[in-house]
Structure 1
Amino acid sequence: MALITEQLRQQSRLGPGDEDWLHLLVGDWQLVADLAFADLVLWFPTGDGSYVALAHVRPSTAHTAFHTDFVGERIRKDLRIMVDRAWDTGQLQRSVEQPFDLVGQSTVQAVPLVRQGRKVAVITTHFDLASSRTASNLELVYRQSAEDLLLMGTRGLWPDFASPTGSRRGAPRVGDGFIRLNAGGVVEYASPNAVSAFRRLGAAEVLQGQSLSDVTMALVSDRRVIDETLPLVLQGKMPWRTEIEYMGVNISLRAIPLRDEKQRWGALVLCRDVTELRRREKELVTKDATIREIHHRVKNNLQTVAALLRMQSRRMNSAEGKQGLEQAMRRVATIASVHEFLSKGLNETVKFDDLMDRQFRLIVEIASPGQRVETVREGQFGMLPAELATPLSLVINELATNAVEHGLAGRDGRVQLVAQRFAKNRQDWLRVSISDDGHGMPTEAVNEGLGLQIVRTLVTSELRGEILWTQVNGQGTEVVIEMPLELRKSAL
Structure 2
Amino acid sequence: MPDTIESLCKKYTNLTDEEIETIKKIGVGLQTMANLQDADFFIDCLTTDETTAVVVAEAKPQNVPSAYKKTVVGLLAEPYNEPAVARTFKLGLSTKQMKAVTQEYANVIQSVEPIRYGDKVIGVLIEEKNADENSEMRDRIRFTDQSYVRLANVLTRLDEEGSWLADCIDEAVILVDMDGYVSYRNKIAKNLYKTLGYTVDILGQPYRCIALHGSNLEWFDQDANYSGIEVNTSDLNLTVKQISLKNNNVDFAVMIRDITHIREKEKELILKSVAVKEMHHRVKNNLQTIASLLRLQGRRTKSVEAKKVLDEGMNRILAIASTHELLAKEGVDRVNIRDVLENIKDNTLRYFLKPAMDIMVNIKGEGFQVDSEISTSVALVVSELLHNSLQHAFDDGRTDGKITIEIQHNGQESHISVGDNGKGFDINCVREDCLGLSIVFSIVKDKLKGAISVSSSENGTVIAFDFKNRIFT
TM-score (norm: length of structure 2): 0.59
1:240 partner SS: strand
Q: Distance in 2 between matches of 1:302 and 1:249?
A: 44
Contact 1:232 1:238 in 2 (8 A): no
Structure 1 moving runs of 4+ over 6 Å: 228-231, 234-238
Q: Distance in 2 between matches of 1:237 and 1:317?
A: 81
In the TM superposition, residue 365 of structure 1 has moved relative to its aligned partner by 4.5
In the TM superposition, residue 484 of structure 1 has moved relative to its aligned partner by 1.8
Q: Distance in 1 between matches of 2:217 and 2:352?
A: 62
Q: Distance in 2 between matches of 1:195 and 1:231?
A: 25
Partner in structure 2 of residue 421 of structure 1: 409
Q: Distance in 2 between matches of 1:470 and 1:229?
A: 77
Shift in CA distance, 352/297, structure 1 to aligned 2, threshold 3 Å = same
Structure 1 residue ranges without an equivalent (≥5): 1-55, 59-122, 128-133, 143-171, 222-227
Shift in CA distance, 327/185, structure 1 to aligned 2, threshold 3 Å = farther
Q: Does 1:195 align with 2:190?
A: yes
Q: Percent identity?
A: 28
1:440 partner SS: coil
Partner in structure 2 of residue 181 of structure 1: 176
In the TM superposition, residue 399 of structure 1 has moved relative to its aligned partner by 0.1
Q: Does 1:282 align with 2:277?
A: no
Q: Which amino acid aligns with 2:372?
A: A
Q: 1:447 aligns with which of 424, 432, 454?
A: 432
Contact 2:227 2:241 in 1 (8 A): yes
Contact 1:233 1:253 in 2 (8 A): no
Q: 2:253 aligns with which of 243, 260, 268?
A: 268
Partner in structure 1 of residue 160 of structure 2: 136
Shift in CA distance, 138/286, structure 1 to aligned 2, threshold 3 Å = farther
Structure 2 residue ranges without an equivalent (≥5): 1-61, 65-149
Partner in structure 2 of residue 377 of structure 1: 363
Q: Does 1:356 align with 2:351?
A: no
Shift in CA distance, 413/406, structure 1 to aligned 2, threshold 3 Å = same
Partner in structure 2 of residue 478 of structure 1: 462
Q: Which amino acid aligns with 1:202?
A: G
Partner in structure 2 of residue 337 of structure 1: 322
Q: Distance in 1 between matches of 2:302 and 2:289?
A: 22
Shift in CA distance, 339/212, structure 1 to aligned 2, threshold 3 Å = farther
Partner in structure 1 of residue 377 of structure 2: 391
1:369 partner SS: coil
| Root-mean-square deviation (Å) | 3.6
Contact 1:173 1:271 in 2 (8 A): no
Shift in CA distance, 286/323, structure 1 to aligned 2, threshold 3 Å = same
Q: Distance in 1 between matches of 2:205 and 2:230?
A: 20
Whose radius of gyration is greater, 1 or 2?
1
Shift in CA distance, 400/257, structure 1 to aligned 2, threshold 3 Å = same
Contact 1:420 1:430 in 2 (8 A): yes
TM-score (norm: length of structure 1): 0.57
In the TM superposition, residue 234 of structure 1 has moved relative to its aligned partner by 11
Partner in structure 2 of residue 101 of structure 1: none
Q: Which amino acid aligns with 2:197?
A: G
Shift in CA distance, 175/414, structure 1 to aligned 2, threshold 3 Å = closer
Q: Distance in 2 between matches of 1:451 and 1:487?
A: 28
Shift in CA distance, 469/177, structure 1 to aligned 2, threshold 3 Å = same
